[in-house]
Structure formats: C-alpha cells, structure tokens
A and B are shown apart, each in its own frame.
Chain A
C-alpha cells in the first residue's frame, strides 16, 4: 500500500479553535476537550493541535518539531541542522504513554537560530531560509519530517483520535493565547503521523476540513515557487498558498481570502465601489490559479491571530461564537459549548467571508 504523499487521500474532518483577544493564556486541555463531542467526525487516523505563545522563554528562536523514524535519521538530520543553525536547545518532546496511541516515531524539538554567515551566503531573509530548510528536509531527508517550524508556537500531531493525541502530548502542560485542534477522517491511509493536521510552515498553521477539487491546479501552480507538496494533502497546499500570498506577495489576510475564496464575478460586478471592483478583479486575474474550490473550512493560525474561512459555497460546516475576550470557532456548536458553556449567539459565517481575530495591539505575546 502506498504511503501518504505517494497517493492522494481524501478525508473529512473536525476542527476547533480558540483565541483570547487579550492574549490571556489557556492550557491545551481546553482545546483537547473541545474535540471530544466531535469524536465521530474523526476515525482515529489522525489528530493534532497547534498552540501559539507556548514557548515564551524561547520566543526569538525557531522551534522545530521533528519526527524521526530512527536514531540514524535523527543523527543525520542534526548534522544537517548544525551546518545551518545555532541549536540553542534540543530535547525529546515529552509524551505520555497511553494505550490509544501506538507506534510513535522519535519526536524531538530544537530551538534554533539561523547562522548569520550562512544567511549572508545564500542571500535569503531569515524566514525564507527557514522555510527552504524545512522544505529540503521534508522532501530529501530519509526518515525525518519537520512538522512545526515557527517562533513561540508549536504543532502536536499523531495517528489517533484528537482527544487521545492531546493527552499523549500532555497539552495540559502548555499555555497559549490561541489554540487550534483537528480530528481527521481519511478514507484510506496506512496512518502516518506527518499526515495529521495541523500543517504548518514557519508560524503559519492550518487545520482544514474538506476535500478541495482545485487541488492539482493549486499544487502545480504553487510548486513553481519552490514549495514541494510531499504529502498530497489539501492542508499542505493551503498552507503554502497562504505563505506565498502573505509572506512572499505581501498580501493582507483579507486580500488573500479574496484570492482563495474569491467572490463570484457577479458579486464583484455588483460591488458599489469602483475600487473594490478593481481590486477583486485584479486579485482574481493575477492569482487565478490559487482559487480554491470544493468544500473546505479552515482555521489559519499565525502569530497574534486566527482566521477562519469557508469555501465560497459553504460546503462545510463552521460556526463562530464569542464570550468576553475569547472567540471560538468549530465545525460544530457542541465543541464551542464545551469550551464555553455560556457562549452567546453562535453564528455561521457566509461562504468566502473571512473571520479574522487578532490579539489586541500592545499585548506582549
């Protein structure tokens, strides 16, 4: 049977997320519990989380989370990393042995800073350099897979039900100002840890529910710019699209949303402002190959915020609720009510309407 990445595997999913606008910390237990009522939206073949603000003591260093097949793969990879980075801290990611999670790879994390001399010689900015290094390890290094690479954030994922994955990674011991969680329902897969969500690049993370029909159009376009879609998953290609639009092209979140869930031409034609019409026409024309069709609901995490977005026909469920400083997003209202029983009105955003929540300015993350 072919491994994930050698073959494209469609999957359905459950997603949940929470953020504090005040930047108040929450433990990972909250998001783990949010996944419990959505148990039936997963099938035990993938679960994962991303937490932001969880490594304040290392906030200026890139936190690389890596799966290794064996000791030799780790040693080879470390030798490679040493040529490119100053490794400030390296350690096993603490886990808890539970019967529900088995066959774990070696799971390690490194807090690193790119070597200035190397940066100068490759003529890349720091982020581009880290992104390229991650891409290189994931496509070329045998038995090593980087699944998280941002500053002051981290992804935790495994084969299993998400609530078990949360326990396995002892998420109750981490505190973050925003969290995303994901349970996966792949239709067929031998189950590979790297295939679980969230998918991340630098501090961007994506959890995703859906099966996009534009996949290969998006993939073949984005691969022109140095991205390598090794997993053949929607989430991976979505992450790269967001990275390309935001970091490389310098678009805003709103502009990026208008590319991937572009308004229909008829909607654009009816926009009252000429400037809006021009902008949307420009975005749809220039980035036409990054329009994403087919069902999806995503939560895109980044430093200081979250963005939730549905495909333009809203072919996947996604609801949003608020209480005090917190905003909750989930596939089902039940997940939100677990996180905050007293949440007020829960609303369903329109297809293609981005819900962007940022931590207030001035709050130290």
Chain B
C-alpha cells in the first residue's frame, strides 16, 4: 500500500485504562477485529483502521471503559472539497471501482418532514382524548370500485377486490433474507403477526419456516426473480412488484456473494457464493403496457386473490409514472424516497439520484386526484419515515400507509454504522455469519418491534386526537392540518400546504 492510499481512521477508540479490566468482551464481540489483547502488557489494544463505529463494544463493555469518537485528524479545511469527497477520490484511484455504501443517504439535504408542522384543536372544536374515546387507526389497502352497484334484490353488492387489512398505517418494508439475517426476518414476521400489520420479504424469496406468517407477509417479485415460484406467490397477503428502490433508482438489487450461503442460497434459488446482482430493469418490462402484463400475470397465477403492489423509486416524473401504474391494474402503489435505506448501493447513486419522498408523495397524490382516480388505488410511501410524526404527516399529505425499515432495524439493535454490505454486522442483523446471527434473539427482537409500533400507534392516536380526528381515514390527504416552516412558495405549492401563520 502506497502512502497516498493511507486514509487516517475515521474513528478513535478511546479506552479508559482506569476502568478497563481486560475482560476481552470487546475483542470477542467485534467481528471487524478492532480489539486485541496484548499478553505482555496485560492490556487491550485497538486497530482503529477497522472500526465502523457500530457501538457494539461500547454497549457491552461491563465497566463503560470504551467510547468511539470521531477522529480529529483532518485534511486541511475546504468548503468545496469535503473530507468524504477527497477520500472517495483516493479509494477510486486505488481500486478503479464503484464505491458501495449501505443504509440511507446521510447527506445534509433538506428533510421536508422537519419543515412541516401539525395542527391541533383549540376552542372551536374539541380535541379528542384517545385514552377515553375510541380512536381508529385501521386501514384497508387495495383497489376500490368507483361505482356502488346493486344486485337485482336492490341490495348493495358488497364484494370487494382483495384488500390488505392493517391495524395501523405502517408496514415493515422490503428487506430480503440474505441482506438481513434469519433472526431479523423471524423478528419482523412475528412482530407483524402480533401487530396485525405486514412485513415484506424483499427480493430474496421466503424461507420455508416463515410461510406460516403468510397473511402478514408481502412477497416481492423483483427483476432478478430470486426465489419466485407458485407457492411463494400464494403464500402472502399481497404481491409486490419491485420496479425500483429509493436508495438506488435505476439499478437492481445488490447482494454480495459472501452473504449468499446455506439457506439464503436455497431460498433465492441461486448458487452459494454467487453475487446476486438483479438486472437494472425487469427484462419483461420495458414500458407501462408491459407492467400491466406482469400485474395481470401475477393476478392470474394467484386467481385474483392477492392485491398487487407496484413499488417504484421517487424520481423526477413520479406523478405521471404513478398515474400510469394506477391504470395498469395495480391495486397499490408504493413509492420509495431517495433517503430510503439499502443493504448495498453505489454511493454515488444513493446520494445523487431520486427525489425526496415528501415532494413525490404530494405530487402523486395531487395528480391522481386531478385525474379523479386517487380513490381507486392505495398509496404507500417509504424512505425515510423515522417517527410517528412522519407517519402522520405522510398520511395528511395523502398516503394510505407508510413503509418503515430503518426504524425497524434500529429497534433490533442497528446503530446505523452503514456497513451492511460487508456482512459483518455485529448486531446480528445484516449478516449471515452464524455466530453473529445468533446475537439477535427473535423473541427479544420481535418484542422490541412490537413495542416500537405500539408506541408509534399511541403517538399517532395522540396527534390525531389533538386534531379532533378519531379515525385515520379522516386524516388521509387532510393537508389543511399541515403548515410549512421555512419553505419557499414553490415548495409549499408542491406540498399543497400553507405556511405557518397563514
């Protein structure tokens, strides 16, 4: 390695020698091999070049002797050439490759959720107390007829297209078995069942152990068609066609061969150790009329018993694209914003392609209304929904429900070190190494997910009650309940909301 390749470690491992008892827990816990024990000195050493700041050692150190801090060794300051950019150049000059990253875009681009404020009732109508009054968060996703019809007996025909019935407007979004571990999937599946919501297989197929959670499962069909077969399609509550992902619009999924082992390989129906690089497009979908054919192929294959979701990344022309999807026979449209997470994506694409979900959602909802078809399809948004407040804002902008993934991973222990692509997740989530996977106990994991969503549901109800709303459908598209702060006219116009004070 030449000197020019050397990049000073990003983090410093600070070990308080007064506290350290050299118990070597940190050494055993770190899959990146940062910590080691020096027999001669009877002390712990650190190799900071390997540290990803996942906080595993910090969390488990019995004497709180450890902390990880950002290194203050820095390049000469330059507002144009930021340290990340400089390091990327060094890495590419050294490797000649496309740089990979994991999890959502960390760049300080505007987060519109944080510039939107929610209303509450004062005097002219009462707020509603969810501890004392009924408060409904149940949502049905699926196609709705545009005309009520009556039978010859004069009674309404009450047959509906298949619907997804959710206890609250949140689902766990697609994370494949392979990108995350068996125990992570088990946690999600069990939590979804207990909560009365759905989780999503992602594009890696469905492990045979999880077929029993079928009515709380959304099975995905992506461009690689990994793990897709008849039983799989019939196993879930709905089928999702993945056309795109917010973190990497325009390209397919990436799963490094190191994570394709054992059951992962079998579930995906591909050889062990082979990289699973999904094609950028579906090669049977080069146009909207092709999408319609796939939608109906999947419906035919499942006897019209499953709603079909079409998931797309939020890109510039998203409103027109969504309108096309609404007319393609899809029951539900899922839109993934550019801050959405990923197990692995080219850094450049993650940070430069796509648009914020807030603007995409507002534009799509309004377009579908302008065309008079918003009532016919359901709209699900993700990438990134971080809290119950984001959920409430998304519903008020016009979504039927939200997809969350990063928040769910955080509940399982993820510390957002953003190195899922290495497969060395110390928290047992984004890894297939058995000794790491077992660190995530699905009993605890599912309980934490249930706790998180239960907390969110309470918060959603509190916010709704404050607005005097006692059912989530009365919040949907209720943009008058939102106000912008620090947004310009154009942004407010796209979001379809007024500025605070107006």
Contact = CB atoms under 8 A, between A and B. Distances in A.
Interface stretch (B41-49, B134-142, B437-445): B134-142
B125 A224 contact: no
B474 A278 contact: no
A228 to B, nearest CB: 13
Interface in A186-225: 187, 210-218, 220-221, 223-225
A143 interface: no
A285 B124 contact: no
B9 interface: no
B197 to A, nearest CB: 15
Interface stretch (A17-25, A248-256, A331-339): A248-256
B476 A279 contact: no
A224 B369 contact: yes
A288 B140 contact: yes
B480 A292 contact: no
Interface residues of B, number: 40
Centre residue among A223, A251, A289 by max chain B CB count within 10 A: A289
A225 B146 CA distance: 11
B476 A217 contact: yes
A282 interface: yes
A266 B478 CA distance: 24
Contacts of A215: 478, 480
A115 interface: no
Interface stretch (B80-88, B95-103, B464-472): B464-472
A348 interface: no
A347 B243 CA distance: 58
A59 interface: no
B126 interface: yes
Centre residue among B138, B155, B369, B473 by max chain A CB count within 10 A: B473
Interface string B450-476: 000000000000000001111101111
Contact of A285 (B133, B136, B144, B372): B144
Contacts of B160: 282, 285-286
Contacts of A12: 124
A80 interface: no
A217 B471 CA distance: 12
Interface in A1-22: 8, 10-12
B375 A221 contact: yes
Contacts of A249: 147-148
B477 A289 contact: yes
Given A216-B479, A224-B374, A265-B138, A187 B470 contact: no
B150 interface: yes
B156 interface: yes
A213 B121 contact: yes
A211 B480 contact: no
Nearest to B142: A285
Interface string B372-392: 111100000000000000000
B147 A282 contact: no
Contact of A278 (B125, B158, B369): B158
B222 interface: no
A286 B473 contact: no
A251 B124 contact: no
A286 B144 CA distance: 6
Nearest to B126: A315
B331 to A, nearest CB: 13
Contacts of B128: 313
B402 interface: no
Interface residues of A, number: 46
Contacts of B478: 213-217, 220
A226 to B, nearest CB: 9
Contacts of A27: none
B156 A255 contact: yes
B392 to A, nearest CB: 13
A131 B148 CA distance: 21
A54 interface: no
A56 interface: no
A294 B119 CA distance: 14
A223 B369 CA distance: 8
B188 interface: no
A264 to B, nearest CB: 5
A291 interface: yes
Interface in B272-300: none
Centre residue among B155, B398, B470, B479 by max chain A CB count within 10 A: B470
A218 B475 CA distance: 9
A295 B126 contact: yes
B353 interface: no
A294 B469 contact: yes
A216 B477 contact: yes
The 9 closest A-B pairs by CB, nearest first: A214-B474, A216-B480, A213-B468, A288-B473, A282-B158, A217-B478, A211-B125, A293-B474, A10-B124
14 contacts: A10-B124, A212-B125, A214-B475, A220-B398, A224-B369, A224-B373, A249-B148, A250-B150, A289-B473, A292-B474, A293-B468, A294-B468, A294-B474, A295-B126
Interface of A: 8, 10-12, 187, 210-218, 220-221, 223-225, 249-251, 255, 262, 264-266, 275, 278-279, 281-286, 288-289, 291-295, 312-313, 315
Given A286-B144, A294-B125, A315-B125, 20 more contacts: A10-B124, A12-B124, A187-B124, A212-B125, A213-B481, A215-B478, A217-B474, A217-B477, A251-B156, A264-B134, A278-B158, A284-B473, A286-B160, A288-B140, A291-B473, A293-B469, A293-B470, A294-B474, A295-B468, A313-B128
